[in-house]
Structure 1
Amino acid sequence: MARRRSVRDFSPEPLPDGVLEAAIQAAASAPSGAHVQPWRFVVVSDPARKRRLREAAEAEEREFYSRRAPAEWLDAVAPFGTDWRKPFLEVAPAVIVVFEVHQGPHSPKPYYVKESVGIAVGLLLATLHQAGLATLTHTPSPMRFLNDVCERPPEERPYLVIPVGRPAPGARVPALTRKPLAEVMVRC
């Protein structure tokens, strides 16, 4: 797991059959508050829909990067080469849009929604990594346009966008170091 990295340059090479289904099944095994399972995983692979997703995300991101993003944040992400342009949303063979499911006409009241969905996403990312695939966690700001692009009801709220695929040849992957265990683990 220590070798897992976020990738922004994807190959359009198709995914192996069944890998997304297996990964989402693993994610859906996550614990959740009152076992309500307040998540929805929408797999976007249709080129026209991925194009709509990219265009809408770039419009929000262009506004965010040019007007709302604090300088401190822009400085923090500069080494990763990220900006408002999101070609990976169209190039990656699949994009998983994760939604939190809140109470609605066909869904019960959920408990600990963000915590539950976060655990499920962690399992999803780990499973996709173990399957030899690369991912990126992307959070366009704001994300409500995803309901329209993915045709989801209002009680489903966007949580995260995850392009999935193989890295493109020559993909830039930052050399990162992790904090040592002594910095992140405390015994008491």
Structure 2
Amino acid sequence: MKRDVHVVIDETLCTGCGACVDICPHDTLTLADGKATVTGDDSLSCGHCLAVCPTHAITLTGYRPMHLGYQTFETPKGWLSPGAFDVGTLVQLMASRRSCRHYTPDPVPMQVLEDLVKIGTTAPSGTNAQLWNFTLLPDRPSVEGFAEGILSFFKKLNRLARIAPLRGLLKVLGKPELSAYYTDYHDRIEEGIASWETLRWDRLFHGAPAAILVSCARDASCPAEDALLASNQILLAAHAMGLGTCLVGFAVEALSNDKNLRNLAQLPADETVYAVIAIGHPDEPYRRPSVRKPITPRVVNIGRVP
């Protein structure tokens, strides 16, 4: 996919050091008459040239610096070089983030949600396409309305799953998904629907006052990876802000199969939602990080000469 060039070079500031030319992954720049020059007609707009320039001679039109423009906090100036941040503190943050299933009724300010979206876009994306998008459900009524749409989908699915001949026929035809759903999820979903309708007990969003839907255009080179990497940035940043989060997988499944729910969320036809994040102020008494299964990575020595 050919993309426009947004690189602008100020010749009065350029010293001709060639650093931008050497680091450009797309051969967009060359040195001419002792100055960096845009000679290619295609660019990833990755900003490597801007980041490496010692004299601030390079800008990218239509783009904003990743570390600027936040409304609820300020970031230190400058770039953290590899090794310049304490890895122990980083791991402590990652290990301390937990899925939150109890929230206070306090709202999440719109400015905070908008900042979390901007933080999400600090994630890498395949070929720097940045074709992700973020849909905000900014208050509890919006979350409840969305939850109603999800439950409507699962009511229909449960009615189908209870038809034993249909499950059997599909299984014979090599489509065992409905049978597996009936075994693994039907009863749990039925309980959740009853809890919502009789007690208003929210087993989907757990009372969260806001949510973020993370989607990506289907023609992106790595749409799922792009959206999920951005989602993880949001999860970690939310914890640092004092907020709790929880990924709602049932919402993603419903959005993948229900056009009415997609219309309710006003999603464009060319986008797929890969993560739905419940978010709010946590009301949980965690005191320490949890645990993970031990893992031994596979070591593969490819091409090693004995």
Query: What TM-score do you get using the length of structure 2 for normalisation?
Result: 0.48
Give the corresponding residue for 2:240. Answer: 130
Deviation track 1:60-81 (CA, whole Å, cap 9, x = no partner) reads 234556734253x45xxx8xxx
Determine the C-alpha separation between the residues in 2 that align with 1:49 and 1:138: 15
Matched, 1:120 2:235: no
Give the corresponding residue for 2:276. Answer: 161
Secondary structure of 1:29 counterpart: coil
Determine the C-alpha separation between the residues in 2 that align with 1:118 and 1:159: 7
Given that 2:227 and 2:275 are in contact with CA atoms closer than 8 Å, whether structure 1 keeps it comes out as no
Q: Which has the larger radius of gyration?
A: 2
Deviation track 1:1-60 (CA, whole Å, cap 9, x = no partner) reads 212221223222122563222221111111111211121111112444323201111122
**2:112 pairs with 3, 19, 23, which one?**
19
Secondary structure of 2:96 counterpart: coil
Secondary structure of 1:110 counterpart: coil
Task: Give the superposition deviation at 1:149.
Answer: 1.7
Matched, 1:148 2:263: yes
Deviation track 1:157-188 (CA, whole Å, cap 9, x = no partner) reads 222211100223679xxx952123xx154555
Secondary structure of 1:142 counterpart: helix
Determine the C-alpha separation between the residues in 1 that align with 2:247 and 2:158: 17
Unaligned runs of 5+ in 2: 1-93, 162-177, 301-306
Unaligned runs of 5+ in 1: 103-108
Given that 1:49 and 1:149 are in contact with CA atoms closer than 8 Å, whether structure 2 keeps it comes out as no
- Are residues 3 and 56 of structure 1, via their aligned partners in 2, closer, same or farther at CA, if it must alter by over 3 Å? same
Given that 1:65 and 1:83 are in contact with CA atoms closer than 8 Å, whether structure 2 keeps it comes out as no
**2:212 pairs with 85, 96, 113, which one?**
96
Secondary structure of 1:42 counterpart: strand
Determine the C-alpha separation between the residues in 2 that align with 1:130 and 1:186: 33
Determine the C-alpha separation between the residues in 2 that align with 1:42 and 1:60: 20
Determine the C-alpha separation between the residues in 1 that align with 2:101 and 2:192: 11
Determine the C-alpha separation between the residues in 1 that align with 2:215 and 2:273: 4
Deviation track 1:114-165 (CA, whole Å, cap 9, x = no partner) reads 1111111111111112212111111233314442122122112222211100
Secondary structure of 1:151 counterpart: coil
- Are residues 42 and 7 of structure 1, via their aligned partners in 2, closer, same or farther at CA, if it must alter by over 3 Å? same
One-letter amino acid of the structure 2 residue matched with residue 91 of structure 1: G
Determine the C-alpha separation between the residues in 2 that align with 1:61 and 1:83: 10
Give the corresponding residue for 2:292. Answer: 178
- Are residues 83 and 51 of structure 1, via their aligned partners in 2, closer, same or farther at CA, if it must alter by over 3 Å? closer
Give the corresponding residue for 2:150. Answer: 57
Given that 1:94 and 1:164 are in contact with CA atoms closer than 8 Å, whether structure 2 keeps it comes out as yes
- Are residues 6 and 61 of structure 1, via their aligned partners in 2, closer, same or farther at CA, if it must alter by over 3 Å? farther
Aligned-residue CA RMSD (Å):
3.2
Given that 1:40 and 1:100 are in contact with CA atoms closer than 8 Å, whether structure 2 keeps it comes out as yes
Secondary structure of 1:98 counterpart: strand
Secondary structure of 1:18 counterpart: helix
One-letter amino acid of the structure 1 residue matched with residue 96 of structure 2: R
One-letter amino acid of the structure 2 residue matched with residue 138 of structure 1: V
One-letter amino acid of the structure 2 residue matched with residue 156 of structure 1: E
One-letter amino acid of the structure 1 residue matched with residue 291 of structure 2: T
Determine the C-alpha separation between the residues in 1 that align with 2:275 and 2:235: 12
